Structure 1
Amino acid sequence: MIPSIRTAYNHQFTHQQYQDFLDGMASEAGEAAVFKVAETPVFIPAQLTAQLKQACDEIIAVIMRPDFKELTRDAIPHHLKVPHENDHPHFMVIDFAVCRDDDGTLTPRLIELQGFPSLYAFQELMARQFKTHFSIPDTVDNFFNGFNGDSYFQLLKEVIVGHYQPEEVILLEVKPDEQKTRIDFYYTERKLGIKPVCITELIQEGKKLYYENNGRKIQIRRMYNRVIFDDLHRQQDKLDKHVNLFQDLDVEWITHPNWFYRISKYILPFIHSEYAPKSWFLNELPVIPSDLENYVLKPLFSFAGQGVLIDVTLADIDKITDPENWILQHKVQYAPAIETPEGPAYCEIRMMYVWPDNSPAPLLVHNLARISKSKMIGVTQGQPQRWTGGSCAFFEEAL
């Protein structure tokens, strides 16, 4: 997207550099990524950087409304509510498609958002390895707000580990060693000293939780939560016996599971910004648009694009028996904004926030990018193409 940097990168790229880049990440994390990592980062020009920040500020203003919890009181399915919810999420991410205005100018459009952490450790590793193996100019940066690799991980340590010993904090997931994102778990452990633990390995005694580490039973004070609870609910019958996490437990959550639902597709209809496509709860839709081909239908409770209908028909709407659990959103037209040696590609940019307990507002710290040559970015669709996959962005400073 920054033509001079893009042209130079494409010209200098070699497959050996790319393999060395992949090997460098695997060496540091202890295992290679099992998902496709793109051959290139995304280079964001200053004007688009400014628009992304403005869009995020407008969305954050909604989340910081004094009545936000009341606004989202119905966002959490009753059977998935967890006790001891705190005042704000410790992590949240906001996803944008890169599009073009009518005049051809690049512009962001809100896709989704989550009160949930995703790949916070791995994204730093990826960006640093891009810098190590490719020529990334100093005029662009992967961090925001003055952070660098050291201060970034210091912040993560303060928020996730806090005043506890690392062995008293775990990364909680369902079968972490089988997850596609496990490289992030392993690198998190290397950087912060906290172990990935499966929900089936938790030991409950009264309200306290424990896990075994090298033959020692250790009380868990905090859980860095990577469990998606509606996915956990769907998998209940396939899992071994495990602790009921919906009860009153003497443990701290980072981030508390309820925020996954409060900050989600549920709040799209409440966001009014030039960078946010119009959205409605399906049960509150004043009239069904005559141009349904320009809309996308999204279930509230899904992840990784599951259940999303991108070519909506009246028949699709008629089939829905729980319209209160669906969002109709004006379709976003992705721009083929990234020039690769094998044709143009689309991309999404994820803006990544950390919200420490002592901070009045969330801090924008890092980013994630996804590059694709198909409509559904981030959804597994057979053998991945070259010059597509998970990536990161380097931003020109906003003017």
Structure 2
Amino acid sequence: MEPSARKKFNDDFTEQKFADLLDRLNKGLPNPVAFRVAETPIFIPDDFLQKLVAAGDDILKTILRADFKQLTETAIPEKWKLPNENDHPHFIALDFGVCKDDNGDISPKLIELQGFPSLYAFQVYLSENYKSAYNIDADWEPFLSGLDKESYIDLFRRTILGDHQPHEVVLMDVNAHEQKTAVDFLLTEKYLGIKTVALEELEQRGDKLFYYADDELVQIKRIYNRLIFDEIENDPDIFNRVVDIRQPLDVEWVTHPNWFYRISKYTMPFLEGAYIPKSVFANDLKDIPSDLENYVLKPLFSFAGQGVIIDVKPQDISNLKNPENWILQEKVNYEPVVQTPEGGVKAEIRLLYLWPDGDDRPTLAINLARLSRGKMIGVRYNKDFNWVGGTAGLVTSRS
């Protein structure tokens, strides 16, 4: 995107440098990174960064509303609603497509949002390796809000640990050691000193949870939750085999699972701003738009783009059995703005916020980016392409 940095990168690029990047990333890991890493980072120009920050601020106005919980109370499926919810999410992730506005200028457009953690540790590691493998100028960094690596890790640590010691905090997910994001779990352990524990490894004594370390039970005071209930939705017997984490437990959540639903596609119809696509709950539609080619139909409760209908027909809407669980959203047309040796590539940038206990508001901390040639952003839709995959957005002004 930033033309001079992009030209220099493309002129200097070699396949050997990309191979070196992958070698650096995988060196010392028990298993190679399980998802495709793109050949290039994104060089974000200052003017586009300012638009991203402004777009994020517009969305935070809604999330910070005093009545936000009341507004989103019906977002949480009853069977996944957990007790002891805290007052605010610890993580906010905002996905923006890179598009063109009506004036032909490059502009962000919100795709999705989530009150759930993302690759907060891996993005530090990935950015460092891009810079070293390609000898990128030191001024280009992934950090935002004036942060550098040291202050970012400190903010990350405060968010995850709270008032607890590292051994009292665990990162938890179902099948945690086999997840595609396991590299992020491993790096989180490195940066913070906490342990990764699979859902299946939790031990319950009364209302307290424990894990084994060197054959000794250690009480868990706080869970860095990476479990998405969608992943266990189709296993109705799972809580007959493992601890039922939905019960009242003497443990803190970071972040509480209810926020995954509160800050989600469910929130889209309540948002306003120049960078927000029009969105409406399907059950609130008075008339089906005549220009359905400009809309997508999204299920509220799905993960990684599953179930999205891109080419919407009127019968897709009229045949919905539970229209209250779907939104009709204005289609976002990505612009292939990242120029590579193989042509223009579409981009999506995820702003990642951290909100430690005690802070008045979230801090925009770092970003994640993805490149795509397929019909949709995401690994599963770009399997047969080069210059696609997970990447990092680098900026020179830490706004």
Q: Structure 1-normalised TM-score?
A: 0.97
The aligned residue for residue 338 of structure 1 is 338
SS in 2 for 1:113: strand
Cα distance in structure 1, aligned partners of 2:381 and 2:371: 13
The aligned residue for residue 273 of structure 1 is 273
Cα distance in structure 1, aligned partners of 2:211 and 2:353: 29
Q: Contact 1:346 / 1:371 at 8 angstroms: preserved in 2?
A: yes
Q: Number of aligned pairs? A: 399
SS in 1 for 2:52: helix
The aligned residue for residue 132 of structure 1 is 132
The aligned residue for residue 327 of structure 2 is 327
Q: Contact 1:297 / 1:328 at 8 angstroms: preserved in 2?
A: yes
The aligned residue for residue 153 of structure 1 is 153
Shift of residue 239 of structure 1? 8.0
For residues 330-369 of structure 1, the C-alpha deviation after alignment (integer angstroms, 9 at most, x for no partner) is 0000001111111211010000000011111100000000
The aligned residue for residue 245 of structure 1 is 245
SS in 2 for 1:235: coil
- Pair 1:319–1:183, CA change in 2 (3 A): same
The aligned residue for residue 391 of structure 1 is 391
> Given residue 179 of structure 1, which amino acid in structure 2 is its aligned partner?
Q
SS in 1 for 2:116: coil
Q: Which runs of 5 or more structure 1 residues have no equivalent in the other structure?
A: none
For residues 167-206 of structure 1, the C-alpha deviation after alignment (integer angstroms, 9 at most, x for no partner) is 2111100101221111101111122121211111111111
Q: Contact 1:373 / 1:388 at 8 angstroms: preserved in 2?
A: yes
Q: Which runs of 5 or more structure 2 residues have no equivalent in the other structure?
A: none
SS in 1 for 2:260: helix
Q: Contact 1:96 / 1:111 at 8 angstroms: preserved in 2?
A: yes
> Given residue 346 of structure 1, which amino acid in structure 2 is its aligned partner?
K
For residues 295-353 of structure 1, the C-alpha deviation after alignment (integer angstroms, 9 at most, x for no partner) is 00100011100111111001211221000000100000000111111121101000000
The aligned residue for residue 372 of structure 2 is 372
For residues 212-264 of structure 1, the C-alpha deviation after alignment (integer angstroms, 9 at most, x for no partner) is 12211111111100000232232344687101111000001011000000000
For residues 120-168 of structure 1, the C-alpha deviation after alignment (integer angstroms, 9 at most, x for no partner) is 0001100111111113234533111121112211211122123322121
Shift of residue 102 of structure 1? 3.1
The aligned residue for residue 257 of structure 2 is 257
Cα distance in structure 1, aligned partners of 2:148 and 2:265: 31
Alignment RMSD (CA, Å): 1.6
> Given residue 333 of structure 2, which amino acid in structure 1 is its aligned partner?
Q
Alignment of 1:1-399 (within 5 A): 1-27=1-27, 29-237=29-237, 241-381=241-381, 383-397=383-397
Q: Contact 1:304 / 1:379 at 8 angstroms: preserved in 2?
A: no
- Residues 353-362 or 100-109, more deviating: 100-109
- Residues 201-210 or 130-139, more deviating: 130-139
Cα distance in structure 1, aligned partners of 2:283 and 2:254: 33
Q: Contact 1:49 / 1:396 at 8 angstroms: preserved in 2?
A: no
Shift of residue 289 of structure 1? 0.2
Q: Structure 2-normalised TM-score?
A: 0.97
> Given residue 370 of structure 1, which amino acid in structure 2 is its aligned partner?
R
- Pair 1:200–1:327, CA change in 2 (3 A): same
For residues 30-74 of structure 1, the C-alpha deviation after alignment (integer angstroms, 9 at most, x for no partner) is 432110000000111111111110000000010000110111111
Q: Contact 1:93 / 1:351 at 8 angstroms: preserved in 2?
A: yes
- Pair 1:235–1:23, CA change in 2 (3 A): farther
- Pair 1:28–1:63, CA change in 2 (3 A): farther
> Given residue 153 of structure 1, which amino acid in structure 2 is its aligned partner?
I
- Residues 132-141 or 201-210, more deviating: 132-141
> Given residue 367 of structure 2, which amino acid in structure 1 is its aligned partner?
N
- Residues 289-298 or 383-392, more deviating: 383-392
Q: Contact 1:115 / 1:259 at 8 angstroms: preserved in 2?
A: yes
Q: Contact 2:145 / 2:398 at 8 angstroms: preserved in 1?
A: no
SS in 2 for 1:109: strand
